[in-house]
Amino acid sequence: MGYDRGLHEIGDGLFAWLQPDGGWGWSNAGLITAGTPGDGGAALVDTLFDTALTAEMLAGMERATGFGAQRIGKVVNTHANGDHTHGNHLLPQAEIIASEASAREMEAFSPALLAQMKAAGAGGHMGVAGTYFAEIFAPFDFAGVIERPPTRTFCGHETLDVAGRAVELIEVGPAHTAGDVLVHVPGAHAVFTGDILFIEGTPIMWAGPVSNWIAACDRIIAMDVDVIVPGHGPLTDKSGVREVADYLGYIHREARARYDAGLTAADAARDIGLGRYASWKDAERIAVNVDTLYREYSGDQTPPDVVRLFGLMGQLYYDRRGHG
Q: How many CB atoms lie within 10 A of CB 62?
A: 15
Q: How many CB atoms lie within 10 A of CB 321?
A: 8
Residue by residue, pLDDT tens for the chain (324 residues) are 689 999 999 999 999 999 999 999 999 999 999 865 545 689 999 999 999 999 999 999 999 999 999 999 999 999 999 999 999 999 999 999 999 999 999 987 788 888 888 898 888 888 999 999 999 999 999 988 999 999 999 999 999 999 899 999 999 999 999 999 999 999 999 999 999 999 999 999 999 999 999 999 999 999 999 999 999 999 999 999 999 999 999 999 999 999 999 999 999 999 999 999 999 999 999 999 999 999 999 999 999 999 999 999 999 999 988 754
Would you tell me which CATH number, out of the four given (3.40.50.10440, 3.40.50.620, 3.30.559.10, 3.60.15.10), belongs to the domain 6-237?
Answer: 3.60.15.10
Q: Which helix (H) or strand (E) holds 95?
A: strand 95-99
pLDDT at 41: 87
Whole-angstrom Cα distance, residue 190 to residue 172?
17
pTM higher than the cut 0.75: yes
Residues whose CB is less than 8 angstroms from the CB of residue 158 and which lie 6 or more positions away in sequence, other chains included: 97, 168, 169
User: Which sign does the torsion angle of CA 84, 87, 90, 95 carry?
Assistant: positive
Per-domain residue ranges for the chain? Answer: 6-237
Whole-angstrom Cα distance, residue 307 to residue 292?
14
**CB distance 302 to 272 below 8 Å:** no
Q: DSSP string spanning 54-83?
A: HHHHHHHHHHHHS--TTT--EEE-SSS-GG
Whole-angstrom Cα distance, residue 239 to residue 102?
28
* Antiparallel, parallel or unpaired: β 42-45 and 74-76: parallel
Residue 79: burial class (beta carbons within 10 Å; 0-12, 13-18, 19+): buried
Q: How many helices (H) and strands (E) does the chain have?
A: 9, 12
Measured at the CA of 91, the angle between CA 85 and CA 30, to 5 degrees, comes to 60
